[in-house]
Structure 1
Amino acid sequence: MTREGELVAGRYRLERKVGRGAMGVVWQARDERLGRTVAVKQLLPGTVPDDAPFRSIVRAMREARVAAKLKHPHAVTVYDVAEQDGTPFLIMEFLPSRPLTDLLADEGPLPAGRVAELGAQIASALAAAHADGILHRDVTPNNVLITEDGRAKIADFGLSHAAGEGTMTGGGLVVGTPAFLSPEVADGEEPGYPSDVFSLGSTLYTALEGAPPFGTDGNQIALLKRVARGEITAPRNSGPLTDVLLRLLRHTPGERPDMAEAERMLAAVAEGRPAVLAGTKRLPAPTGRSKLPLAIGAGVAVAGAVLAGILLFDGGPAEKPVAAPPVPGQSTTVERPVCEARYEVTNRWPGGSEIRVSVRNAKDTRLTGWEVSWTMPPGTRIANLWNGSLAQDGDRVRVSELDWNAVLPAGGTTTFGFIATTDDGGGTPPVAECRSS
């Protein structure tokens, strides 16, 4: 049993325990050769399927080789690996910090802008790792460290896997924290770069909502099944981060952005810019039905097709105004729309569908408020509205802006969405009308 004051590998003096990661206990220690404070992670028995010391050491050596490849300002640096009495130790950068888990416990859910800022920092480190062929495999709030000056660093590449190196987990073991796994990993598939993207989305969701997207359950098997089925709760506090967050959490791996794209979109939200930047690639349409009833960002087709009802003018009918024949000596003007809206059915399943509505400012000047209205088909009900305020009179529905998305610059867009439940399996999408409020 390792104790305070013990000297590891003749060099690292253990001072105090500071935490516990996925692979073992973390100590604050003193590197007596270089005279600096370091973090020493002690790999504990039972953290690999086979507890034999040789396998543990091999696992730790592999972990050290993988993690030491990554040099990034938002990733914890690994300095060295040591072994003593059959126990491996990783020597890492010591950071006065606390896990995001602790920050959320103390302060509660964080504002969307702050979450986007932290997310962009972590995504930048993970993008660099992916570029080097490194998966993290366990992106969770507990592995995001927040430093004293408020920066984020991703820690514990103990479950990493470098491309070209065989896994040591074997035996059908699911690697990672269940509540933050991607659906494909929970379903038994091999993790890939999109799995890290999903786990980052789950981590950011937790920072915004105060709980993981699939909830928590003491029965880990039940939780894994829920993750695999994609039974996510639509976010309610994500504000301007909604579109990006829901892209990261797409059920199908090929529909998610890569990590570099995630970094760019998160940075845009953090800086108050449009999340889908000029030149940003469009996400591919899925090849099959997504299990996840979520709204997605602009330009994405779901289940092979998007059904849409469009047209929306301030005070106008559901047709574009047509100019009357000119009268000699008189000028003729055509009324321009103030705002436009697009009602899209982005996914269907028995008894319901996922709806996304895009609102666009069609003016040359900024729009300071909007309202979208339409008539719902008989028997249709709205649930889990996000990014809007709902009012309903019978089958007539009105959705207006929230504080954060009320003002749209010229040509600017925003989106809101909801789950529509119905008894008749759907039908033709209604035509929405947009007015300035």
Structure 2
Amino acid sequence: MTASVVMLSPVVPSTSLKDRYRLARYPLAHKGMSEVWPAHDALLDRPVIVKFVAATDLDLVRRFRREALLTARLDHPGVPAVYDLGEHAGHPYSVLQKINGVALSDLVAEHGPLPIGWVAAIGAQISSVLLAAQQLGLVHRDIKPSNAMLEPSGAVKVLDFGLAAIPDDDRYSRITQSGQALGTIGYMAPEQILGQPTDHRADLYGLGATLFDLLTGSPPFDDLTTMTTVRQQVAATPPRPATLRPETPAALDDLVHALLAPTPDDRPDSAADVYRVLAPLAANLPPIPGVLDESVTAVQAYAAIVGRTPPHHGATVAPVREPSDVELEQAVRQAEQMQAAGEFRAAARQWRRLAEHRARQHGDDDPQVFDLRLRAARTHLALGEHDRAVRQLTTLLEGRERVDGPEHPAVRELREEIARLSAERAGSLPLPQQYAPDADR
């Protein structure tokens, strides 16, 4: 950092900006040369975030204004909205949408490596933001876990466009800040480290490093010194998350490995290619206690319908390909092998995934869909998740009664099974051996 940069406190608590935005008593955070304050918009009666430049360096001020303009141009639900831009006591500020969520870095610190479905779901959302940025020619240049937040609805917001640039637009292409690295070591692409031109593939590198972190609980490059970390990023073979987390699906392991390639040409061509790999893996998402709402939120309800809308002709994101009959048979055998090996959690997810594939092709009332969901529900008994299994079985019973009637043999058998399990839960009968959890689990 140069000696000319002087840190100042731009405001005092409870300051009112434009007689409209009243700051809270304490700042929310200090991020580099910026201060972030919670505030209240008196005109529209809503909470907002106010971000100030807390320094007098002209380069920092220009960078700050550019960040606000670029963020405002990127109209995407995964990016906080910019409400206003102003100046107070010589310090520019922006007024942003308040995000209620947890940073991915804090999420991993608290919960450890995330469930694979959630890693894929988070990555797919970030890749959709990067796709929108790519369509604008915008490069974020600082994708990392601390620059994305997970909201209680499960939605992801990508933050901090302070290093963003549009290389083909002179108004947004230059960023000068001598003495500081333009990015975060361990997550910034090798071409950024080397001061070479960057494009959207630099953001894909940051996404790959973020996915590695979410999968393993640690950054892909984190050596004892900055110099050795940089050397690994620029010259070493990219790591594979499966070496630290063997259950990582091969498709996800290969994707992360490719995203971390030192040379941009060896990475995927587009965020759309990344999305196509991640979207099918973002299924059967388990709850994250204390982070996600347990009930269906308005955002989830809205997104569920939007997700059914077919893409327009020529859209860059192709629909997910359904597996062939041979692939489905292989997946069924794989689930059976998982169950036989005592990998009940993985087996349950596989059964549900197969059921959803079959339902998309043949509808929820298809008998094979029922059988696959039945196997998934029964697998939860082996995990000791009795209540969850009974809830799923009861839902299946209601659907099967509607289709086949209350006296169908399969309906009567399922009704008797639920009654028996309820009695066992009450303690009147021992748990049958076929449902007993593995002794070593």
Give 1 or 2: higher helix fraction: 2
* C-alpha contact (below 8 Å) 2:71/2:79 kept by paired residues: no
Deviates more, 1:105-114 or 1:162-171: 162-171
Q: Quote how far apart the aligned CAs of 1:140 are.
A: 0.7
Residue 7 in structure 1 maps to residue 16 in structure 2: yes
Residue 196 in structure 1 maps to residue 203 in structure 2: yes
SS in 1 for 2:330: coil
Give 1 or 2: higher strand fraction: 1
Distance 1:31 1:188, change over 3 A: same
Alignment partner, residue 205 of structure 1: 212
Q: Quote how far apart the aligned CAs of 1:209 are.
A: 0.7
- Pairs aligned (count): 287
Q: Quote how far apart the aligned CAs of 1:205 are.
A: 0.6
CA distance, structure 1, for counterparts of residue 184 and residue 218 of structure 2: 14
Alignment partner, residue 290 of structure 2: none
The residue type equivalent to 2:51 in the other structure is: K
Q: Deviations over 1:235-281 (max 9, x none)?
A: 13261221222222222211222112212221122148xxxxxx999
SS in 1 for 2:99: coil
CA distance, structure 2, for counterparts of residue 280 and residue 127 of structure 1: 12
Q: Quote how far apart the aligned CAs of 1:98 are.
A: 1.5
* C-alpha contact (below 8 Å) 1:67/1:157 kept by paired residues: yes
Matches within 5 A, 1:333-348: none
Residue 243 in structure 1 maps to residue 225 in structure 2: no
Distance 1:364 1:109, change over 3 A: closer
Identity among equivalent positions (%) equals 32
TM-score for both structures, normalised by structure 2: 0.59
Alignment partner, residue 270 of structure 1: 282
Deviates more, 1:129-138 or 1:19-28: 19-28
Alignment partner, residue 137 of structure 2: 133
Deviates more, 1:99-108 or 1:163-172: 163-172
Matches within 5 A, 1:59-74: 59-74=63-78
* C-alpha contact (below 8 Å) 1:214/1:231 kept by paired residues: no
Q: Quote how far apart the aligned CAs of 1:170 are.
A: 5.3
Alignment partner, residue 17 of structure 1: 27
CA distance, structure 2, for counterparts of residue 364 and residue 200 of structure 1: 30
* C-alpha contact (below 8 Å) 2:143/2:203 kept by paired residues: yes
Matches within 5 A, 1:15-164: 15=24, 16-45=26-55, 51-52=56-57, 54-163=58-167, 164=169
Alignment partner, residue 266 of structure 2: 255
SS in 2 for 1:76: coil
* C-alpha contact (below 8 Å) 2:210/2:219 kept by paired residues: yes
CA distance, structure 1, for counterparts of residue 274 and residue 94 of structure 2: 30
* C-alpha contact (below 8 Å) 1:135/1:160 kept by paired residues: yes
Alignment partner, residue 184 of structure 1: 191
* C-alpha contact (below 8 Å) 2:40/2:48 kept by paired residues: yes
* C-alpha contact (below 8 Å) 1:76/1:155 kept by paired residues: yes
Q: Quote how far apart the aligned CAs of 1:22 are.
A: 4.9
The residue type equivalent to 2:22 in the other structure is: R
Over aligned residue pairs, what C-alpha RMSD do you find?
Answer: 3.1
Q: Quote how far apart the aligned CAs of 1:203 are.
A: 0.5
Q: Which runs of 5+ in 1 are unaligned?
A: 46-50, 273-278, 282-359, 371-401, 410-437
Q: Quote how far apart the aligned CAs of 1:38 are.
A: 0.7
TM-score for both structures, normalised by structure 1: 0.59
SS in 2 for 1:214: coil
TM superposition outliers: structure 1 runs of 4+ over 6 Å: 360-364, 404-409
Q: Quote how far apart the aligned CAs of 1:363 are.
A: 8.5
CA distance, structure 2, for counterparts of residue 175 and residue 120 of structure 1: 25
